[in-house]
Each structure stands twice: as C-alpha cells, then as structure tokens.
Amino acid sequence: MTIFKGAGVAIITPFHADGSINYDKLDELINYHCENGTDAIVICGTTGESATMTEAEHMDCIRFTVQQTKKRLPVIAGTGSNCTKTAIDLSTSAAAAGADGILIVTPYYNKATQEGLKAHYKAIVREARVPAILYSVASRTGVNIEPATVASLVKEEEYIVGVKEASGNISQVARIMQMTDGNIDLYSGNDDQIVPLLSLGGKGVISVLSNVAPTETHEICARFFAGDIAGSRDLQLKALPLIEQLFCEVNPIPVKKAVSLMGMEAGPLRMPLTELTEAHTESLAKAMRDFGIKLA
C-alpha cells in the first residue's frame, strides 16, 4: 500500500490579508506542483500551519485539495492531534473525502509513553482504514517514536505503511529499517538528509524544499532510484545552502516568504508566527538566486 515514491511537498497554506484561507492561491499552488515534478501533496501538515486551523478549516482545506488535484497526484492529509478522538475524527473525515493517505504526527504536549503511542495510532487507523504514515519529530512534539514501537505498529496494523523520520538521527533510522526488515515506507522529514535515508531503503521525502524547488527535489530521488547515486548526491549537496536558509527561522516562516518571493503570493502567517526578518529575507533571496530560482 505504498502511497507514493519520490518527493512529496509539505505544501504551505496561503492566506488572505485577514488570515482566512486563500483557496484561489492554493489552487494555483496545487497546479504548480502537478506540473513541476512533485510526486505527492501533503496538505495540512506543520508547513501548512495546521496548528492554527479550526477543525472545520482543516477539513475544508483537505477536501479542496483532493477535489482540485483531480487524482493527478496522491494527496496525503495531515490529521494528527494530541487528542486521540480529534485525530480519529480528522482521519476518518479525510478518508471519506478521498485522501490517499494520512500523516499522523506524534501527540504533542501530552508526551505519551511508547505504549500510549501504540494505543493512539491503533485507535486511529482501525477507524480510518486508510494508509497511514507515522510522523516522528520529537523536536516539535517532545516525544520520539522508538524503533521498536514503529516495528510493532507496522507489523500489527495493516494500514500503518510508512514513517516520516525527522529525528535527524541516522542510527535510529537504520534501526527502524533493521527491525522492520525494510517492510516499511521510509520518508525523510529533513531535506538535508534525503540521500542518506534513500541509501537505507527510503521511498522518498516529505519536503519543505519542494515548495520552491519541486523539480530538483524530485530529481534527487529520481536519480537515486535510477542508479545515478553521484548525480543524486550532487543535487543534495547543491541544495544545502538553500535548505539552511529555509530553516533560518522556524518552519514555515522562511518557506512562506520564499514562495512569495517567487511571485506566488503566499500571504501572511498566522500568529504566533511572525514575518521573516529583513536580514534573513535578504540571505534567503540570495540562496534562492544562487540555486537558480527566479524571483519575481
């Protein structure tokens, strides 16, 4: 039940000046990714500012993306929550709306035990019955999914098919692949570690970089899968200065500015996020130009 292979974009959510979702611009972004090599769209993730959305906005955004994508690309809906019931409601609604898969972040703030994580994920997928990718990002949520927990879940639950690994710990990633016998779809959650995770058997990346460099991010994966390891590695290394600038402030502050610099009018951020500083905007713009991205 592999949902996708390659570079999935953790797509931003464009807003109007009043903070409401700008669906016209979201439609433009969806078409942009369908036409420029992106392999999947991940809607309502961290990069999409899902933490500031109401449940109604969250589901409206997912339904719109499924509708406008028109099956051109797989759509994966971010449906995680620190409330298991809320995550179940979002996940079942996303499945009913036609999402090809769901991305479920570890419960934040509660800091569940590993047994709590197992219970949480099992409850969600047994209700939603749609392919699910676990999302391990302890730097954001305060809790890590241990390799043994990942292995247990993927072996026991048919709908748990993948893991987005953003721990930055390559040893942990290797252990996951060893403990699952490679029977899990592994995606990098860090744009600077795409090639290392592919070398461990990864299927691709869920990417912030793809918002501004979809073709190149796709190519990092495609070249690796085609056996052009050197070409894949060279693209990964070329992208590092840009990736660094895309995370010069907390995600998605820089990438939303980057999209606007390209002329696609991403709109404002929702508080408590604030606009990128002038100094960081200048360094981001330089990195984009150096990478070959045309600015508006």
Q: Would you please indicate which residues are annotated as catalytic (active-site) residues?
A: 135, 164
Residues paired with 163 in a beta bridge: 134, 186
Alpha helices in the chain (DSSP H): 23-35, 55-69, 84-97, 114-128, 138-141, 147-156, 170-179, 194-199, 214-225, 229-246, 253-261, 278-291
In the numeric block, the tokens 């190519």 are attached to 219
∠ CA 24-259-296, nearest 5°, is 95
Residues, the chain, total? 296
Tokens of 58: 């969250």
Angle between helix axes 23-35 and 55-69 (nearest 10 degrees) is: 40
Cβ neighbours of residue 50 closer than 8 Å, sequence gap 6 or more: 13, 44, 58, 78
Q: Which residues contact 177 (CB under 8 A, 6 or more apart)?
A: 184, 186, 200, 201
* Cβ proximity of 130 and 159 under 8 Å: yes
Return the residue matching tokens 């502050």.
253
Angle between helices 278-291 and 229-246 (to 10 degrees): 160
